């Protein structure tokens, strides 16, 4: 098998498990919706604050939900010695990394579609300039998925994995929060030229952590 066949095998396995357990649909998406609605309760929609801060609230919610997705992705490897099975499988580290990151990215994209629709409906914002908004979302999602997969395997063998992953991950993905929020603000304001530098930053971040993850995942899995 070549690299992409191995990536598809691993991503397919994770997505099949997700499809059957429905953790994303029944827990992570509702969690994201609840967080968005709580923000709406806290920041009175009538005062116009929600419209101004909607991009930031959207991405904070995505990052919080991403923590759950990352934890879930490595929780399935903790049962029945599956992590040892993965090590013994013969699959290469880069393929394992890309496969698991791709599965997380697909789940996050599904979540983001639902949350974006909620933001439009509940917060009353208008998405005027779609291209930078979509590209920023894609790049940010890849960046979060790659970083989450890298830090997920780093914490995989630790008993306090669930609490360690947020502490490790959130500071690292702060540039994603900043870049994606700024890009969304520019897109919503209809000024795409202001969005492109942030889209570029997000793309660089995604490429950087994808490269690091491909190199580091295998050795980290061996030591976990």
Instruction: Note whether 51 binds other proteins by CB under 8 A.
Output: no
Instruction: Note whether 78 binds other proteins by CB under 8 A.
Output: no
Closest contact distance (angstroms) between CB of 70 and other proteins is 17
HEC string of 88-130? HCCCCHHHHHHHHHHHHHHHHHHHHHHHHHHHHHHHCCCCCCH
Which residue among 20, 47, 126, 160 contacts other proteins (CB under 8 A)?
A: 20
Nearest-angstrom CA–CA distance, 116 and 96: 30
Closest contact distance (angstroms) between CB of 28 and other proteins is 16
Per the structure block, which two tokens stand in for 62? 């995505």
Instruction: Note whether 159 binds other proteins by CB under 8 A.
Output: no
First and final CA of the chain: distance in angstroms? 26
> Sign of the C-alpha dihedral, residues 202, 211, 221, 11?
positive
Number of residues lying near other proteins (CB under 8 A): 21
Question: Which of these ranges, 48-56, 86-94, 135-143, 160-168, lies near other proteins under the rule CB under 8 A?
Answer: 86-94
Nearest-angstrom CA–CA distance, 121 and 125: 8
Question: Which of these ranges, 73-81, 107-115, 150-158, 173-181, lies near other proteins under the rule CB under 8 A?
Answer: 73-81
Residues forming the site for other proteins (CB under 8 A): 1, 6, 9, 13, 16-17, 20-21, 76, 79-82, 84-85, 87-91, 222
């Amino acid at each position: 098998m070549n690299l992409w066949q191995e990536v598809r095998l691993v991503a397919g396995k994770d997505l099949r498990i997700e499809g059957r357990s429905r953790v994303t649909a029944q827990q992570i998406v509702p969690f994201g919706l609840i967080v968005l609605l709580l923000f709406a309760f806290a920041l009175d929609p009538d005062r116009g604050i929600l419209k101004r801060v909607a991009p930031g609230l959207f991405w904070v919610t995505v990052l919080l939900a991403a923590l759950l997705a990352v934890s879930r992705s490595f929780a399935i490897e903790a049962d029945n010695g599956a992590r040892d099975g993965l090590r013994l499988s013969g699959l290469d580290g880069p393929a394992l990394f890309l496969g698991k990151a791709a599965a997380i990215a697909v789940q996050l994209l599904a979540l983001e579609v639902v949350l974006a629709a909620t933001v439009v409906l509940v917060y009353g914002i208008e998405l005027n300039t779609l291209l930078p908004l979509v590209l920023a979302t894609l790049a940010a999602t890849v960046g979060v998925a790659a970083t989450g997969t890298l830090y997920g395997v780093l914490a995989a063998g630790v008993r306090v994995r669930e609490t360690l992953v947020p502490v490790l991950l959130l500071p690292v993905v702060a540039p994603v929060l900043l870049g994606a929020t700024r890009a969304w603000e520019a897109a919503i304001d209809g000024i795409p030229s202001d969005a492109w530098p942030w889209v570029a930053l997000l793309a660089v971040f995604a490429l950087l952590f994808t490269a690091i993850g491909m190199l580091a995942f295998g050795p980290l899995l061996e030591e976990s």
